[in-house]
Structure 1
Amino acid sequence: MGLLFAKLMTVFGDREHKVIIVGLDNAGKTTILYQFLTKEAVQTSPTIGSNVEEIAVKKTRFLVWDIGGQESLRATWNSYYCNTEIVILVVDSTDRERLTVTKEELHRMLAHEELQNASVLVLANKQDMKNSMSAAEISQSLTLGSLNARSWHVQACCALTGEGLPASLDWMRSRVVAN
């Protein structure tokens, strides 16, 4: 009976998987969320609190929480961690000065008990800009190699054009379908 149910779930779709999108202010989190949803760039303003949308990729459904990244809001991020399966960290690839802050926020988050099993997707956004850091540079700066007990991936992208985002959705889907 359990095998039959599992087969039916693969045919008729899966449960909803919780995803949080975090990153410093102005990294492109909300633009990415709505690019996932509408496949076009939308005009955004700084997020106070959060935005939430359901995104379907093939038959896999993600409930995606886009959380404000201003310094005053980062202390509230942990109230969104419960049942999170994937953490998307959006990095402004041109913001070299704040990459250390991004690294500190990421490692503080991942130390939280409720995120111990969450996969991490780092979106190296703004790749269309001059002097943007490569995905490899960002990976090294964030010391992602130290996350050996966790599934993680870095994807270069451009929120405005959507470049790199379909591949990131495929990676997310592979993480939850495999589990």
Structure 2
Amino acid sequence: MAGVFKKLWDWLVGLFWSTDMDITIVGLQNAGKTSLLRVLAGGEFTIDSLPTVGFNMKKVQKGHVTLKCWDVGGQPRFRDMWERYCRDANAIVFVVDSTDREALPVVKEELHMLLGKHGLENIPLLVLGNKSDLPGKLSVDDLIEALDLKSVSHREVSCYGISAKLETNLEAVMKWLIARSGK
């Protein structure tokens, strides 16, 4: 009988106190955006993900918060779409391959170009240095410096090192996102 009451309680709480959030995940190609989203949604990490063509959307349920996550392709032809998907987001997640030092100037340019778009000023930004399990990765401090994150204004900015493959720091990522559900 207790199971019936729990189901009824969960249904009532979900009906009256559930929160929906829109999260946009962007970054250059091969940064690990799709792998990250797959793992956050409860799936398995796979090394042979196909590049995202356009966008993917997955819902991630955590307690009474539903994150509707938009994973937008990172190839140059899709970067113009980033602003459109970020416009009504509760948070922007910018994923960076922390081992690809050669791409950092392009990453920085694309990130700052996106953040300079009118209408995106107050949306919180979470920068994730993915592939932290691999040798040659940048530290969080190096990533903050390389991307000039200290110069970003008109929004909250956080930066974490993660590994979608090993699920390193993903609980902290979820806590950060959910903490912004009331904003």
TM-score normalised by length of structure 2: 0.87
Of 37, 43, 52, 1:47 maps to 52
Structure 1 unaligned regions, length at least 5 = 1-7
Question: Contact 2:45–2:165 (CA<8 Å) still a contact in 1?
Answer: yes
Aligned to 1:106: 111
Q: Once structures 1 and 2 are overlaid, which stretch shifts more, 12-21 or 162-171?
A: 12-21
Aligned to 1:68: 73
Q: Does 1:93 align with 2:104?
A: no
Aligned to 1:22: 26
Aligned to 2:156: 151
Paired residue total = 171
Aligned to 2:174: 169
Q: Distance in 1 between matches of 2:29 and 2:111?
A: 14
Aligned to 1:33: 37
SS at match of 1:75: helix
Structure 2 unaligned regions, length at least 5 = 1-11
Of 123, 138, 142, 1:118 maps to 123
TM-score normalised by length of structure 1: 0.88
Give how far 1:82 is off: 2.8
Q: CA RMSD in A?
A: 1.8
Q: Distance in 2 between matches of 1:105 and 1:112?
A: 11
- AA paired with 1:134? S
Aligned to 1:138: 143
Question: Contact 1:124–1:156 (CA<8 Å) still a contact in 2?
Answer: yes
Task: Give the structure with higher Rg (CA).
Answer: 2
Alpha-carbon displacement from aligned partner over 1:13-57 (angstroms, at most 9, x marks no partner): 333211110000000000000010015313410000100011122
User: Cα distance 1:21–1:69, how it changes in 2: closer, same or farther (>3 A)?
Assistant: same
Q: Distance in 2 between matches of 1:100 and 1:61?
A: 34
